[in-house]
Structure 1
Amino acid sequence: MNPLISIVVPVYKVEEVLDRCVQSILDQTYKRWEAILVDDASPDGSPELCDQWAQRDSRIRVVHQRHAGVSTARNRGITEARGDFLVFVDSDDFVDADYLECLMQAQERTKADLVMCSAICEDDDGRPKRTDEEWTFDDQPEDRLFTGRETLRFLYRTIGAVLWGKLYAKHIWPTLHFPDGKIHEDEFVLHRVYFTCESVAVLHNKPYHYIDARPSIMHAEYSLKRLDRLDAKIDRLAFFTEHDVDRDLIEREFIDLNKHIIWSRALPWDAPENQPRFRKLFSDYRRIPFAILRRLPLKSGINYIGTRLCPFTYWKIHERGK
């Protein structure tokens, strides 16, 4: 019997596009799946649409929860999943009819813990929005099999840094958890997912349609909420250092973290309403072990020490010296 695939779909304010997403799941040529629609107390007509879909097909289950964010919705979906494999689909995206079959055939062929495919990035009218390499694996000469450690390099390409577009063996998830209430939740988890895998299959197929029709959080006005990404990068750097990953990965993540610290200066750090959040952030920064100094060039090492010991003073001096 074919393995059961659990498809987790968080649902919030997607009344206009939810039918497209769910219909694309129903159209799958691979038939042994269950879809878990996690309604995050959506204030529009999405909850009713979820219930209607569940009445049409017994493979669709609906979970209604108090509004708690996409991380909590995904955690709930993982808890509810009964399948041997997990797939995440964003409710404003959709997939080709052979999506699950493509991923499952690759898994059966390679026995990989994780299979990931390329994607098409388009707007709601089907027009391509991005054609750059971030959304494909076209630089690979053929479908390839990597170790989990090797796959960590894909974290710095859009297609490797997102949860969707991947088939996960269920055994990966029991010890992993999305941070409740955080945005950029992918970045808190994917490095741990990849590291857990013995093997990862990377495909050229593009059966996933990512719809880039929404205002991007990265282009929104800077807010305290966007500091969640710094939390994720601190966690990743601590993880990389503790597990002795390649030096170039540590250097790259450190440079990226500093870039985001600089962007956070768009907020006044010393404002009373902001200070507690930044103090917590830099307290967490100390989770990055001193052992990282062995992997950083001198200039970055000085930056690390200054940020760890006296971040508010260090970054004021840093700005004056620019």
Structure 2
Amino acid sequence: MIDFKKKLISIIIPSYNASDFIDNVLNSVLNQSYLYWECIIINDGSTDGTEEKVNLWIKKDIRFKLVTIRNKGVSSARNEGLKHVRGEYIFFLDSDDLLDKECLNDLIKLTNSDIDIVIGKNASTYGQTKKINKKLRHNKLVNRELSDLDFLELSLREPFDIVVWNKLYSSKFIFSKNLNFIDKILHEDEMWFFETMYYAKNIIFNSKVTYYYNIANYHSITKNYTLKNLKSCIFIINNIYLNYYLKENNAKKKSIIGAYILNLQITTISAFFRFMRFHKCFGFREEGLMMIKKHLKQLNAIEYNQINKKKAKQFEILKLYAIDNPEISYRLIRNLNKNNILKYLENLFLKYKLNLRL
């Protein structure tokens, strides 16, 4: 049998003013049934006693390590953590979440020399607890190695969560591709997810919940959305367009990246108008609309894979109407999944306003 304990896992925890959560998350690490790990806590300039609490854990177990930096944000903290990795595998953990006791053991058992990423199953919780509120999206093809697939295409056909944490990344894979996080933007997970799925050759999904994601401490986009959210999303899409779409020579791969970009544009536009609708916030509405229209005009000539009927319809609406009226395109796309007479009549009215036909 393979001795899994020869495989060191480097756990990276970015931590900013996490005094209320740090003891619980480190306790969930200490209680792992898999013993061969190091835990690198990046104290991102905390001022609430987080550092002092971590130092107590270091005295309990030498596998805990503390690195303190001035406050730069979660991307910089994760990048700093990557500099200190000694393990064969890398695992990201947020300071207000919890691990299942069998998390590392369950994921490490699925590794082999060819696997780039093991993707763990997640569940949301209200508060830092293991009481499950909802199991998050996860691929159905579990406990089997997936290769010879385009994982960007897979993420569009059968969506799974775009998160950094609860994935076991091969250190060789991450460092050979020089992957890191973009500083000073929001939604940094989006770019990391794209790049890891773009480069990965072999991945595997586990079958059990191994990570408990605390949504009670999550500052929801519907509550704290600003122009920086919109600017960050547009920056990420432009980055994918310039550095991957334009440079891709394989026609099929290029069309999938094109579809990925369109999907991100729909997500970005939807988030903007949902916030406007729920919070009746018009302070930056016009500026946001101008940014969206300018972005869409610049990236209008994109070739794309239709993925499936649903995506094809969404992409068609986006390409036809979004430049002229992003809000109406958002509402038409939103209504695609709502088969009732009111939404049918609303769609007719929206198309009448545009004086166009689908």
Q: Which runs of 5+ in 2 are unaligned?
A: 249-253, 307-311, 331-349
Q: TM-score, normalised by structure 2?
A: 0.73
Aligned counterparts of 1:252 and 1:315: Cα–Cα separation in 2? 14
Aligned counterparts of 2:89 and 2:190: Cα–Cα separation in 1? 21
Aligned counterparts of 1:13 and 1:173: Cα–Cα separation in 2? 28
| 1:238-249 correspondence runs (5 A) | 241-242=245-246, 243=248, 244-246=254-256, 249=260
Whether the 8 Å CA contact 2:234–2:295 is kept in 1: the answer is no
| 1:105-144 correspondence runs (5 A) | 105-108=109-112, 111-124=114-127, 125-131=129-135, 134-137=136-139, 139-140=140-141, 142-144=142-144
The one-letter code matched in structure 1 to 2:303 is I
Give the corresponding residue for 1:301.
319
Give the corresponding residue for 1:102.
106
Identity of aligned residues (%): 22
Aligned counterparts of 1:278 and 1:76: Cα–Cα separation in 2? 36
Looking at CA atoms only, which structure, 1 or 2, has the larger radius of gyration? 2
Pairs aligned (count): 306
Give the corresponding residue for 2:222.
219
Please report the RMSD computed on the Cα atoms of aligned residues, expressed in angstroms. Answer: 3.4
- Of 85, 92, 98, which residue of structure 1 is paired with 2:89? 85
Give the corresponding residue for 1:160.
161
Aligned counterparts of 1:126 and 1:24: Cα–Cα separation in 2? 10
Deviates more, 1:99-108 or 1:50-59: 50-59
Counterparts in 2 of 1:239 and 1:16: CA distance versus 1, 3 Å: same
SS at match of 1:128: coil
Q: Which runs of 5+ in 1 are unaligned?
A: 308-313
Aligned counterparts of 2:75 and 2:134: Cα–Cα separation in 1? 26
Aligned counterparts of 1:2 and 1:179: Cα–Cα separation in 2? 32
Give the corresponding residue for 1:31.
35
- Of 239, 242, 264, which residue of structure 2 is paired with 1:253? 264
Aligned counterparts of 2:87 and 2:153: Cα–Cα separation in 1? 26
Aligned counterparts of 1:111 and 1:315: Cα–Cα separation in 2? 43
SS at match of 1:182: coil
SS at match of 2:186: coil
Aligned counterparts of 1:173 and 1:98: Cα–Cα separation in 2? 24
Counterparts in 2 of 1:193 and 1:293: CA distance versus 1, 3 Å: closer
Aligned counterparts of 1:16 and 1:317: Cα–Cα separation in 2? 43
SS at match of 1:190: helix
Deviates more, 1:157-166 or 1:178-187: 157-166
Whether the 8 Å CA contact 1:152–1:194 is kept in 2: the answer is no
The one-letter code matched in structure 1 to 2:90 is L
Q: Per-residue displacement from partner, 1:187-217 (whole Å, max 9, x unpaired)?
A: 0211111111110001111111112212433
Q: CA deviation at 1:97?
A: 2.1
Aligned counterparts of 1:282 and 1:178: Cα–Cα separation in 2? 27
Q: Per-residue displacement from partner, 1:96-152 (whole Å, max 9, x unpaired)?
A: 2221111111003x7311001112221225433224xx3444x44x42322362355
Aligned counterparts of 2:59 and 2:214: Cα–Cα separation in 1? 27
The one-letter code matched in structure 2 to 1:51 is N
Whether the 8 Å CA contact 1:234–1:285 is kept in 2: the answer is no
The one-letter code matched in structure 1 to 2:106 is C
Aligned counterparts of 2:212 and 2:328: Cα–Cα separation in 1? 46
Give the corresponding residue for 2:76.
72
Counterparts in 2 of 1:65 and 1:202: CA distance versus 1, 3 Å: same
SS at match of 1:161: coil
Whether the 8 Å CA contact 2:138–2:161 is kept in 1: the answer is no
